[in-house]
Structure 1
Amino acid sequence: MKIGCISWSHRNSFANGEMDIFKWMEHCKNDCLLDGAEIWNNHFESLDESYLQKIKEKAAELNLPVYSVATKCVFGGFSDDEINAAKSTMRDWLKATDYLGASIMRISVGGERLRDAERQIKVFDSITEVICEGEYPEITVGIENQEPGVVQNVADVKKMKEISDGKLKVILDNGSFLDKEDSYAFLEEALPDAAVVHAKFFDIREDGSDKILDYEKIKMILQKKCYDGYISIEYDSNEPAARDVPKIASYLRKLL
């Protein structure tokens, strides 16, 4: 397993101007000693090739691969125009993901009444349609489970897998549950269909462990299922991420 981080963890540092993508990448490599970086769409200044090239060069300079790009596709009220706009968004971000050499693209799905069965199928069909255009066969596309959301339980993952013929994966958020005890069963059952695991940390101890989720238990599940992908730190706290994510990364390295 490799350890990375999604830049959403440092959203407050981006918002107040303390960080941009380049400073964040340096922090990930030099302070957190991470194996790779996952960049959230809100932290891109643009998708211009010249800007993406600078990110690519920084990744090479630091030996810090961008393994995932995280974006959002909004289906709104599911009119034809809104569905086509969501597919267009996906194509734009697939192109950027490919340019950066990332192998995973995470999609967060937005829209009205996403738990409606017909709309859920429309989301899966629409995203699969773009995947099947075949422009980026090396990129694995996943939908992040969110509560509430278009994918939020094991039944949804199975439905997504069936409708997409296995082309769509889950970006497994192990903390996106109102009842955190549900996290462990979901992790165990959905892990075989996960492109990456988002490791949520909410309230950490001094050693970097979490007070909410039991990472000893999570470690046992990951090992049992022989997971060998990225563990992507997602720090869901308003405490200083630049101070705390290095502690979390150190804790995970020792644990795993």
Structure 2
Amino acid sequence: MISKPIPSFVQFILLLFVNFLLLSCNSKPKSSKITDQKLTIKAKSTSDFKISLAQWSLHRAFKDGSLDPMDFPKIAASYGIYSIELVNSFYLKKVNDKTYWKTFKQRCDENKVSVGIIMCDRLGNLRNPNVKERIKTVENHYAWIDIAKYLGAHSIRVNATGKGNADEVALNAIDGLNKLSKYASEKDINIIVENHGGNSSNGKWLASIIKQVDKKNVGTLPDFGNFCLKRDSDKNCLSEYDRYKGISELTPFAKGISAKSYDFDKKGNETKIDFLRMMKIVKNSGYKGYIGIEYEGNSLSEPEGIIATKTLLEMVFTELE
């Protein structure tokens, strides 16, 4: 783990204090007051990496209505972050609303924010053993590919995991990805698979899937944290794949990176994940592009967690230069 104190530590504390003040603005439904004040300076970047913000980092606020999904471009910009990753489940009722997406795109343009990825859930599973249902799942993704194209995104993230015999799940997932990639290629959109539970949290298994699909527009979205292979009834992880091995196996096919974070020590390091070690793996793989903040912890508020993750990534970027 990195042992150096976070640069500009006083600034970091001040930023967290600002967020405590802003939290009171989030109690009213659909409030966007958090977007009315700059929280921090523009995110640092390197010649290889830039920082993006995954919408899931604020999933509690979007779910309880204290933040409006339409405001996400402005919210991201308030953190000094100018590329976003949408979660489609916050927009399911708007999937066919062209007026909504026109306005959303205008919000992006107004805040100089780009959309990189749309995370697609609740559309079925591409590894479904039932052929008709698998085809239906493929077709359910078409509208989100169209939205991704309209918004200028490069990829949609899909699910291709499931319980059962790993070889059988693999064959079904390969078929589903192949079918979906055909439509996506016509729109110049990538299909990316995240390690997202079940067999997909086995890096070797997922890398094998991508190799067998062998399409230029099919790749991975390696997530630093999603390597649990088995959970108990209380969702506690019973078996976990080696996260560093998994990232090494998945980054050669990466078209995005998800920097998952949960909690931080007094020096600003993530307590479960060695970010410097992870980013060295990412860099050595040859990946260049956005690193998406995805805070999923409970100790800090969502705004605090975003800032802590951003600060840590910026420190790691400095170490890598």
Give the structure 1 partner of residue 85 of structure 2: 38
Give the structure 2 partner of residue 174 of structure 1: 224
Pick from 53, 57, 62: which aligns with 1:14?
62
Look up the SS of the partner of 1:11 in the other structure.
helix
Once the 2 structures are TM-superposed, how far is the Cα of residue 77 of structure 1 from its aligned partner? 5.5
Normalization by structure 1: what TM-score?
Answer: 0.89
Equivalent pair of 2:161/2:169 in contact (CA under 8 Å): no
Equivalent pair of 1:114/1:150 in contact (CA under 8 Å): no
What is the CA deviation profile of residues 108-161 of structure 1, one whole-angstrom value per residue up to 9, with x for unaligned ones? 2365x3544223212221221222246634211111112314463223312322
The answer to whether structure 1 residue 90 and structure 2 residue 138 are counterparts is no
Greater length-normalized contact order (CA 8 Å, ≥ 6 residues apart) = 1
The answer to whether structure 1 residue 103 and structure 2 residue 151 are counterparts is no
Give the structure 2 partner of residue 2 of structure 1: 50
Normalization by structure 2: what TM-score?
Answer: 0.72
Count of residue pairs brought into register by the alignment = 254
Equivalent pair of 1:124/1:164 in contact (CA under 8 Å): no
Matches within 5 A, 1:232-247: 232-238=292-298, 239-247=300-308
Equivalent pair of 2:189/2:217 in contact (CA under 8 Å): no
Q: Highest Rg: 1 or 2? A: 2
Give the share of equivalent positions with the same residue, in percent: 20
| Separation in structure 2 between the aligned mates of residue 61 and residue 114 of structure 1, nearest angstrom | 47
Matches within 5 A, 1:93-242: 93-109=144-160, 113=163, 115-133=165-183, 136-150=186-200, 152-178=202-228, 182-205=242-265, 208-238=268-298, 239-242=300-303
**Distance of aligned partners of 1:143 and 1:115 in 2 relative to their CA distance in 1, 3 Å threshold:** farther
Give the structure 2 partner of residue 252 of structure 1: 313
**Distance of aligned partners of 1:97 and 1:248 in 2 relative to their CA distance in 1, 3 Å threshold:** same
Report the RMSD for the aligned CA atoms in angstroms: 2.3
More strand by share: 1
Stretches of structure 1 lacking an aligned partner (at least 5 in a row): none
| Separation in structure 2 between the aligned mates of residue 64 and residue 114 of structure 1, nearest angstrom | 41
Look up the SS of the partner of 1:54 in the other structure.
helix
**Distance of aligned partners of 1:15 and 1:84 in 2 relative to their CA distance in 1, 3 Å threshold:** same
Paired letter, 2:86: I
Equivalent pair of 1:175/1:183 in contact (CA under 8 Å): yes
Paired letter, 1:41: N
What is the CA deviation profile of residues 61-116 of structure 1, one whole-angstrom value per residue up to 9, with x for unaligned ones? 111101111102413863233112201111121111111110111112365x3544
What is the CA deviation profile of residues 164-221 of structure 1, one whole-angstrom value per residue up to 9, with x for unaligned ones? 4454201111211236771112212321101111111011235653111011212222
